Structure 1
Amino acid sequence: MALHMMRSSAPATRAVTRAPGVNRVSSVRVRAGPQETVGSASRRQAEVMAYLETLPGQGTSSGPFKGVWDPLNLAATATLPDMRRWRESEITHGRVAMLASLGFVIGEQLQDFPIFFNFDGQIKGQAINQFQQVGQGFWEPLLIAIGLAESYRVSLGWSTPTGKNFNTLKDDYDVGNLYFDPLGLCPENEDELFELKTKEINNGRLAMIAIAGFVLQELAEPGVEIFDHLFFTIIRDVDYEIDIVEKDLGLPPSIPLPELPEYQKGQPGF
């Protein structure tokens, strides 16, 4: 998830970007300064679409959709600064969602262990209910850490807010690149870097859908943790398949079927 944070070998104004396995190379110069938003609507839209085609996470590399996926036709009225800001937002939200999805599941599994800020064992139950159970001693350093991280990100990529460039990114800012690569994982090869950025944006999009699904699922079934939904059905199905094979071979059952949780008893398919 930190791949967009890593050092990039391609600056924001680079003219050529190529995805792995793609022979066609875009020759459109992608500059995002305000001077490129001047002109006719058709020219502006063409510039926006040309910029989108150079981004990771578009076309066959992020199937099943081909080309630029824009069902709401937002690019029709957007400017290049708009698209760069939206891409920055998508990358940032994707990274947060990946952390949230992981923390959602892990938090529920570690609640029985007296570690971190749960020494008294008061943090328990569904993850959606653990937020308000955390003590004040956790929130103060967290807010400070978030403030420092966001201040660094804003200073790196966002323009000084004035009347002309309010809520815009710097022209020379490589969107999503925070130059954070402590393990030196960022490849020097542009095709490899493009592929890793595509994987990051795809995983971020999936994580945003996943964390929303986690929250809605726990709201729909109070008291049932997300781990029960993720793994009980898989274990049950595997045990049933093994039982069928053992019966066909005339063998005694070796694996007892798991006991259904109370909330699933009597439901169709159980």
Structure 2
Amino acid sequence: QTSAKASQAARSVAPRSVASRRNVAARAGADRPLWSPGSQPPAWLDGSLAGDYGFDPLHLSEEPEMRKWMVQAELVHARWAMLGVAGILFTSIAAKNGAPFPDWYDAGKEAIKTSPAPLGSLIFTELLLFGWVETKRLYDLRNPGSQGDGSFLGITDGLKGKENGYPGGLFDPMGMSKNEASFKEAKVKEIKNGRLAMLAFVGFIAQHHATHKSPIDNLVDHVADPFHVTFATNGVSVPHFTEF
């Protein structure tokens, strides 16, 4: 009889425990900004990562080791995108003002034409140097701190940061990482701007494919005739639209 009562008590407590955990998770989701207001974030995205808004529909970061890799991959791509987008906009604006810069889409081709070094030598050198650096970074990702002082002739000793992906020293001249609150805020700002830059770069590629012009040229044309020069009238984005 005692065993039966204990079993019945366990069955009555179990649903309440599960419901309680769900309620706690729901409240946790409601207390943080999410990509879709009111949605339930995945259990593995608890809001501790910079720029975590609970978006992972393909479960790409569900495994802890893969999540570490995805965080670093996004960060590196975001930084390259910010540099690339800023460079495209700067050279496009300068070209509109008479500077001898080629269209961003042809810049690589023009650089190869005028380079004193053969293309094969450039590719080999980049593969060698980038491969070495990226291998070191991969080892440090898998085992933080394993790439100790003096691993690169002592050059990197003054670039130590607090965590993977965030070097300090010369890369933090304003000491922003010394204050935890400002460091946390800066990480969120960086990844948000980086995500915007990645989307912008995809837009630049799509624009050039449709119009064969730079983003600044597209903007100038749109401002000059905003009702007739749009994404819907370029003849590519919305097929057959201009026929009506």
Match status 1:70 vs 2:56: yes
Deviation at 1:175, TM superposition (A): 2.7
Corresponding position: 1:178 with 2:167: yes
| 1:221 to partner: Cα distance | 1.2
In the other structure, the counterpart of 1:105 is 89
Corresponding residue of 2:110: 133
Please give the alpha-carbon distance, in whole angstroms, between the structure 2 residues aligned to 1:57 and 1:150.
Answer: 29
In 2, Cα distance between equivalents of 1:210 and 1:143: 30
Contact 2:207–2:215 (CA<8 Å) still a contact in 1? yes
Matched residue, 1:242: none
Q: 1-side partners of 2:73 and 2:175: how far apart?
A: 23
Q: Work out the CA distance in 2 between the residues paired with 1:99 and 1:185.
A: 22
Report 1:1-270 matches (<5 A): 48-50=44-46, 53-59=47-53, 68-75=54-61, 78-111=62-95, 112-113=98-99, 124=102, 126-134=103-111, 135-137=114-116, 148=129, 151-152=132-133, 154-155=135-136, 157-159=137-139, 169-171=142-144, 174-179=163-168, 180-181=170-171, 183-222=173-212, 224-234=213-223
Structure possessing the higher relative contact order (Cα contacts under 8 Å, 6 or more residues apart): 1
CA contact (8 A) 1:84 1:175 kept: no
When Rg is computed on C-alpha atoms for both structures, the one with the higher figure is: 2
Give the paired residue count.
170
The structural deviation recorded for 1:70 is: 1.0
Change (3 A) 1:186 1:86: same
Structure 1 residue 184, shift from structure 2 partner: 2.4
Amino acid paired to 1:136: S
2:115 maps to a residue whose letter is: Q
Using a 3 Å threshold, how does the CA distance of structure 1 residues 80 and 205 change in structure 2: closer, same or farther?
A: same
Report the residue type matching 1:137 in the other structure. Answer: P
Partner of 1:40: none
User: Match of 2:167, SS?
Assistant: coil
TM-score by length of 2: 0.56
Whether the 8 Å contact between 1:218 and 1:225 is mirrored in structure 2 is yes
Q: Deviations over 1:211-233 (max 9, x none)?
A: 111011111112x2221222443
Distance 2:217 2:166 in 1: 37
1:188/1:178 Cα in 2 relative to 1: closer, same or farther (>3 Å)? closer
Residue 143 of structure 1: how far off its partner (Å)? 7.8
CA distance in 1, matches of 2:50, 2:203: 25
Give the number of the structure whose residues are more often helix, by fraction. Answer: 2
Any conservation in 1 of the 2:78–2:191 contact (CA below 8 Å)?
A: yes
Calculate percent identity across the aligned residue pairs: 22
Give structure 1 stretches of 5+ with no counterpart: 1-23, 25-44, 60-67, 115-122, 161-167, 238-259
Displacement of 1:127 in angstroms is: 1.6
Q: CA deviation at 1:97?
A: 0.4
Q: Distance in 2 between matches of 1:232 and 1:221?
A: 11
Instruction: Provide Cα deviations, 1:52-101, integer angstroms capped at 9, x if missing partner.
Output: x2111023xxxxxxxx11122224xx421111111100000000001111
> Which letter maps to 1:178?
P
> Does the 8 Å contact 2:81/2:194 carry over to 1?
yes
Cα RMSD (Å): 3.8
Asked if 2 retains the 8 angstrom alpha-carbon contact of 1:87 and 1:175, the reply is no
